[in-house]
Amino acid sequence: MRADLERKVRQRAQYSCEYCLTPESAYRFTFPIDHIVAKQHGGETSLNNLAEACLRCNSHKGPNLSGIDPASGRLVRLYHPRQDRWTRHFRWKGPIILGITAIGRATIVVLDMNHSDSVAVREALIAEGGFPPR
């Protein structure tokens, strides 16, 4: 990936995961760049198909485009950072991310967004102030 494209993705994301909103500064490494629609599904390496994603969200999402909504048992598409508004699908309850739509709930499950390690990092960020983002 071109360095200028990677820089644009990170700047647009404000150096935070575009799925769980955890800032890169909470870790000692740079987050990977995710192809929202994976290359194997025809996704391009373009600004509109790239998102900054923490290691957990990125590795759990993989090439997935959909997941099962645990409330309905239906197959639904995952949250798409370029097409969806985060606040339409998710809410905060302290350090826990709640899914308020089928898309939000399925995304939380597939990306394992409330893993105990992730929740612990978010608890520490909350204690420091300024998190979660508004």
Tell me the domain boundaries of the chain: 3-128
The yes-or-no verdict on residue 1 having pLDDT over 90 is no
The SS3 assignment for 118 reads: helix
Q: Which two tokens stand for residue 117?
A: 């390690």
Nearest Cα neighbor of 19 from 47, 52, 49, 63 is: 52
Q: What is the pLDDT of residues 10-62, one digit of tens each?
A: 999 999 999 999 999 999 899 999 999 999 999 999 999 999 999 999 999 99
| Residue type at 9 in one-letter notation | V
What CA–CA distance (Å, rounded) separates 72 from 115? 22
The yes-or-no verdict on residue 86 having pLDDT over 90 is yes
Residue 70 near residue 109, CB atoms below 8 Å: yes
Q: What is the mean pLDDT of residues 92-118?
A: 98
